[in-house]
Amino acid sequence: MAKWDWYSSTIQGVSDPRDCGLVDFLLDRYPLSDWAPAKNLNGYTYGGQIIRGDHKLVHVMWGGNPGVNCLATSSDAPALVDALRAFGLPHKPARMDACEDWHEDGLFDSMSGGLIKFAMDKGLAIEQQGDWVRGVSRTLYVGSKASPVYLCLYEKGYQMGGDAPRNWVRLEVRVRPAKQHKEACSMWEPDHCFAAQWVPSALVALGWAQLHSRTIGTVWRQSDDERARAALLRQYGATMARWADELGSWEALGSAMQAGIAGLGSTAKSSTTTPLLEGGKSPADRVAALQAG
């Protein structure tokens, strides 16, 4: 099944992510996360980020351009899409990448050959990067990067490095919706990208029905909960070890933490949701009130 790999969208009708409740909303959606400064890009005046430890989950930018832009990549992208839709205000995607993955020897050669032939037949732009002589870290782009839709086929295993399988192949459809289509595209699912413009014809040329049945889920990335736990241990592991030593055992620490979480749970939940739901208002109501003021 296709999944989001990059998602950048601008929330309409707001000018500051803190005033409209977006920051509090995102912090509530991403467990064990924090808000921190970040670079401003693409003509925006200000930048911030939702982080967990040293990992950036969402890049947020505002000022200088209309609205508030949110960007997430890789395995963090699907969660951002869900969060933007749950937030409830209209948003207009600037870029949406959807991908499919395979682990299969020789697959990059056959897929790249099929895509190159298709591009030659249709007069589409072709760009090759990496070492195509030795067959290492290869990337193939089909279509113009300046157009609303283009394909990217690459050897994901080489990009990831480490013990990732070198036969890991990824196909991405990268969509930059035209202005008049942005609002409609905000409701797209990843599979819709694979049906955009000339992409279906390219997939037919690749024998997509057979290829699609062999796709796999990405197994080389920790889940959201696993990354949260890893960040917790990196940041507070030494403190927890000292606490366990003070109590006499790790078992005693577990009981103490359980009691502490039970006592703080309702307070913690209230502190994160109150800014968003102040006065019982939805995000849209809060924005309307801000604009009226």
Tell me the per-residue pLDDT of 128-167, one tens digit each, with 9 for 90 and over.
Answer: 999 999 999 999 999 999 999 999 999 999 999 988 999 9
- Give the count of beta carbons closer than 10 Å to the beta carbon of residue 32: 15
Q: Edge-to-edge strand order for the sheet containing 126-131?
A: 34-37, 46-52, 55-62, 68-73, 3-11, 91-103, 168-175, 149-155, 136-142, 126-131
Split at pLDDT 50, 70, 90, the class of 42 is: very high
Helices (H), the chain: 22-29, 77-87, 107-122, 156-160, 182-185, 190-193, 199-206, 208-212, 224-247, 250-277, 283-292
If DSSP states are collapsed to H, E and C, what string results for 137-171?
Answer: EEEEEECCCCCCEEEEEEEHHHHHCCCCCCCEEEE
Predicted pLDDT of residue 210: 82
Segment holding 4, helix H or strand E: strand 3-11
Split at pLDDT 50, 70, 90, the class of 224 is: low
Instruction: Check pLDDT > 90 for residue 80.
Output: yes
Predicted pLDDT of residue 233: 75
CATH code linked to domain 96-221: 3.30.160.110
Split at pLDDT 50, 70, 90, the class of 265 is: low
Instruction: Check pLDDT > 90 for residue 174.
Output: yes
The stretch 253-277 carries a mean pLDDT of 59
DSSP letters, 247-278, are HTSHHHHHHHHHHHHHHHHHHHHHHHHHHHHG
Predicted pLDDT of residue 270: 36
When computed from its CA atoms, the radius of gyration of the chain, rounded to whole angstroms, is: 22
Instruction: Check pLDDT > 70 for residue 276.
Output: no
Q: Work out the end-to-end distance of the chain between its first and last CA atoms, rounded to an integer number of angstroms.
A: 46
Do residues 97 and 188 make contact, with C-beta atoms less than 8 angstroms apart? no
Split at pLDDT 50, 70, 90, the class of 290 is: very low
Predicted pLDDT of residue 289: 46
The stretch 23-50 carries a mean pLDDT of 95
Among 58, 51, 50, 56, smallest CA distance to 7 is for: 58
Domain boundaries, the chain: 1-89, 96-221
Predicted pLDDT of residue 259: 85
Residue 86 neighbours by CB under 8 Å, 6+ apart:
25, 29
Predicted pLDDT of residue 279: 40
Predicted pLDDT of residue 209: 83
Place of tokens 């003509």: 43
Helices 250-277 and 224-247 sit at what angle, rounded to 10 degrees? Answer: 130
38: left (phi over 0), alpha (psi -120 to 50) or beta: beta
* 174-210 as b/e: b if 16+ CB within 10 A: bbbbeeebbeebbebebebbbebebbeebbeebebee
d(CA 285, CA 122): 49
Please state which architecture CATH assigns to domain 1-89: 2-Layer Sandwich (3.30)
More confident call, 281 vs 22: 22
d(CA 51, CA 32): 9
What's the maximum distance between 2 C-alpha atoms anywhere in the chain?
A: 73
More confident call, 77 vs 258: 77
Predicted pLDDT of residue 226: 63
Instruction: Check pLDDT > 80 for residue 285.
Output: no
Instruction: Check pLDDT > 90 for residue 175.
Output: yes
Q: In this predicted model, what pLDDT tens digit does every residue of 108-119 receive, in sequence order?
A: 999 999 999 999
d(CA 112, CA 123): 16
User: What is the overall mean pLDDT for the chain?
Assistant: 86
Predicted pLDDT of residue 73: 97
Instruction: Check pLDDT > 90 for residue 190.
Output: yes
Predicted pLDDT of residue 223: 55
